[in-house]
Amino acid sequence: MWDWLQSRKGDRASSGNGRRESYQCLPLVRMTNTFLLAGSEDPDEIVAQTPRGIYVAQLSGGQVNTATGDFTFGTSEAYLIEDGKLTAPLRDCQLIGNGPEILARVDAIGTDFAMSPGTCGKDGQSVPVGCGQATMRISAMTVGGAAA
């Protein structure tokens, strides 16, 4: 992602990603709309074919190092998958990884694509964003949390 100033410094074409919360704030390079298009698999079958995993219904806040792609995101609604069925609810899970590496581990994408509103917070500013994806399965990811 590049705004006008950073693209000039990096000898790159601007991608129009200079955004700010209001006229009182400096523009920052930040996300606008992020989405992964739908695939061809039935979302229920993706879960049914997963012997053990975590089903994340809703993400909460997170952060991304845009230089490396490393990220961490919290979950506000997640469930354990056991023998292809959603079982126990989970709390305080953290999804940890590297964006390009995780995208290479996507092995199933559902047909249920949907967009939802979100917020990108950076340097004390908050701007609206759109996020979207279908149900997807990632073959391996680091998941952290605290035992209660």
**pTM over 0.75, yes/no:** yes
* Cα atoms in the 13 Å half-sphere on the side-chain side of 55: 24
Dihedral sign, Cα of residue 148, residue 99, residue 44, residue 50: negative
Tens digit of pLDDT for each residue in 53-107? Answer: 999 999 888 888 878 999 999 999 999 999 999 999 998 899 999 999 999 999 9
Torsion of Cα atoms, 79 then 146 then 68 then 78, to 10°: 10
Domain coordinates in residue numbering, the chain:
1-30, 31-144
What are the two backbone dihedrals, phi and then psi, of residue 62, each rounded to the nearest 5 degrees? -170, -175
Check the CA dihedral 98-99-105-106 and report its sign: positive
